[in-house]
Amino acid sequence: MSVQISPISESLPAFLSANSYTKIQVIVDENTFKYCYPTIKTFLPKHKVIKIKSGESEKNIDTCQIIWQAMTDNELDRHSLTINLGGGVIGDMGGFCASTYKRGIDFIQIPTTLLSQVDASVGGKLGIDFLGLKNHIGVFQLPNTVLIDADFLKTLSYDELRSGFAEVIKHCLIMDGKKWEEIRRKDFEEQDFTDLIAHSVAIKQQIVAEDPTEKSIRKILNFGHTLGHAIETYFLGKPKLHLLHGEAIAAGMICEAFISFKRNMIDQKTLENIEEFIFSVYGKATIKEVDIESIIALTAQDKKNKGKEVRFSLLEGAGKCGYDISVSKSEMKKALEYYR
Ligand SMILES: NC(=O)c1ccc[n+]([C@@H]2O[C@H](COP(=O)([O-])OP(=O)(O)OC[C@H]3O[C@@H](n4cnc5c(N)ncnc54)[C@H](O)[C@@H]3O)[C@@H](O)[C@H]2O)c1
Ligand SMILES: [Zn+2]
């Protein structure tokens, strides 16, 4: 799959002149309509815009119906193009709608959050939440291209930018020890995001190319996510305690680095470095003793599990990761206790 990291003023016109479409439709949310659409509008021929409300709570079947309805009203045929302009919510759901409308029409991703640029837009996972379960309904389908321009990040909030940075940290820890050493020596504000986007995309592309449907090595991308997702879900909808995805994953990475250390897979210095850097960027999430059992119970929902076993991806050093490692409840408990 092609990913272009360059100014959108170059990549979008180049894509459009190399391809011919009967109709073009752009999917945006309230924020990307305001902050990102004006930038691309000038490069587009005649097109329609579908604007949906922003937020994860909109990533559902009702919004899909709105999108499919608009596609039908706009008379999109099989030779039409959908442009998903937004974060992971627009990318996942817009891509899902495009790949199911008339059994699939072309779509491209223009990710506008750091998280979607370094993670969600690469790898072809599309879908929506259903019955309160994240990404429960979806497909694997690659977009025609991904056009990344770091300039879109200028209007993104500090918290959203920092949340996306957790996936950058993860990519370094699982695959590139040298880059990890480089980023951990800099403050969050000093990081070179344009360089880090290219680095993260290359790592994710390499892993996905080896294992597109997550039967093996792709599972390492879940480092920090088994406990991280459980923490995210536990605090979901709890006012004041609510965590962004990356904030929860940051906590998850510390817990899972601790389990890696306890199993002699990483040394104490590596654990300390991970902890020190992540705390310096994210601070410490408030996890109370009484929360621990419920968080552990939530790991039973993890998509990587096999039967009753909860399977983790754990570090085998800074820059290396293993997968399909069964972890007991008591190890998880110790890790959460260590974190708090
Ligand atoms: N497909 C995958 O492989 C994959 C991987 C990771 C995450 N995801 C999915 O991605 C979603 C999270 O993505 P996200 O963090 O981008 O969330 P998001 O799409 O909700 O965007 C976060 C917020 O930023 C706003 N926004 C987006 N771009 C902006 C810009 N340039 N300036 C100002 N505001 C802007 C959005 O309107 C939204 O309010 C989740 O649904 C998750 O499941 C998918
Ligand atoms: Zn993630």
Domains and CATH numbers, the chain: 3-154 (3.40.50.1970), 157-339 (1.20.1090.10)
d(CA 7, CA 149): 5
List residues bridging with 126 in a β-sheet: 139
Q: Is 261 in the pocket of ligand 1 (CB under 6 A)?
A: no
Q: Is 148 in the pocket of ligand 1 (CB under 6 A)?
A: no
With DSSP H G I counted as helix, E B as strand and the rest as coil, what are the percentages for the chain, rounded to 5? 55, 15, 30
Q: pLDDT for 70-113, tens place per residue?
A: 999 999 999 999 999 999 999 999 999 999 999 999 999 999 99
Q: pLDDT for 249-302, tens place per residue?
A: 999 999 999 999 999 999 999 999 999 999 999 999 999 999 999 999 999 877
Q: Residue with structure tokens 């990102």?
A: 36
Instruction: Please report how the helices 245-262 and 268-282 are oriented relative to each other, as an axis angle in degrees rounded to 10.
Output: 170
Could you identify the atom of ligand 1 that is nearest to the CA of residue 125?
A: 1
CB-based contacts of 236, cutoff 8 Å, min separation 6:
242
Q: Is 116 in the pocket of ligand 1 (CB under 6 A)?
A: yes
Distance 299 CA to ligand 2 centre (A): 15
Residue nearest to atom 19 of ligand 1 (CA): 87
* Statement: the pTM of the whole predicted model exceeds 0.75: yes
